[in-house]
Amino acid sequence: MRRYGPATTVNYSFGPGPVTPAVKAIILANIGFFVLSQLYEPILKYLGVVPELVLTRGWLWQVATYMFMHAGVSHILFNMLGVWMFGVELERTWGTRFFARFYAITGIGAGVTVVLASLLPFAPLAETYRAVTVGASGALYGLLMAFAIYFPHRPILMFLVFPVPAKYFVMIIGALAFWFSGGGVSNSAHLGGLLFGYLYLKSRGGGLTAEFKYRYLKWKMNRLRRKFDVYSGGRSDWDRNIH
């Protein structure tokens, strides 16, 4: 979602544009596995993440393969729509290699979170110990966290109705995921994606620290430019585009 034009005019456009290489590969892989699961449904038990099987049988691959499996058409549709909407711009910003690594780490981290959360002494989470968790939502929530960090003021349509700055959008969905943890939706995976996305970016030398420094310097330069514009008799309109 982009915002263009002078401060008095706001126009919105849907989506980030053409699909990028890693996002395209992720979407095609998910579609392929979804078709396979429709032809042979028992595969969900082997490739989805089941904490009991991971811990007792050593089926460690499940914390990675689960993110390519989906329970239905609407499930994969909304997840892949999110990967396209938020992933394309992040891949353009980071490059394909870093984006693919980030997606894998947040997705696997979310799977590990599901396994660990199932061991906690809370009834809703204990029910997930033998349940199958599938879907790319964990990795998608990692992308949402990164998008909010890199584009904090970019408007996102909450519930496809009203625009909310990305940083607040992530806070809201994170709070909702925590509140509704357990039940039919594995919100522990959502929280895991948010957490691992944040920690991974923070742990990198050029991560959050560099981002905050960049935004501080940009703010400082804007202050100096405004001060200069006062003496020059008016402000320049060269930087009117807002993203």
Cα angle: 36, vertex 41, 43; to 5 degrees? 75
Predicted confidence at residue 243, as pLDDT, reads: 34
pLDDT confidence band for 7 (50 / 70 / 90): very low
Give yes or no for a contact between 102 and 22, defined as CB atoms under 8 angstroms apart: no
Give the Cα separation of 181 and 117 in Å (integer): 10
Mean confidence (pLDDT) of the chain: 81
Cβ atoms 235, 226 nearer than 8 A: yes
**pTM of this prediction exceeds 0.95:** no
Domains of the chain: 13-228 (1.20.1540.10)
The mean pLDDT value for 166-187 works out to 71
pLDDT of residue 220: 67
Beta bridge partners of 12: 3
> Tens of pLDDT along 202-213?
887 555 555 555
- Summarised one tens digit per residue, pLDDT across range 112-154 is 999 999 998 888 788 889 999 999 999 999 999 999 999 999 8
Phi, psi of 113 (to 5 degrees): -60, -40
Percent of the residues in the chain that have a pLDDT greater than 90, as a whole number: 49
Q: State pLDDT tens for residues 36-89.
A: 999 999 999 999 999 999 999 999 999 999 999 998 898 899 899 889 989 999
Mean pLDDT (whole number) for 9-32: 81
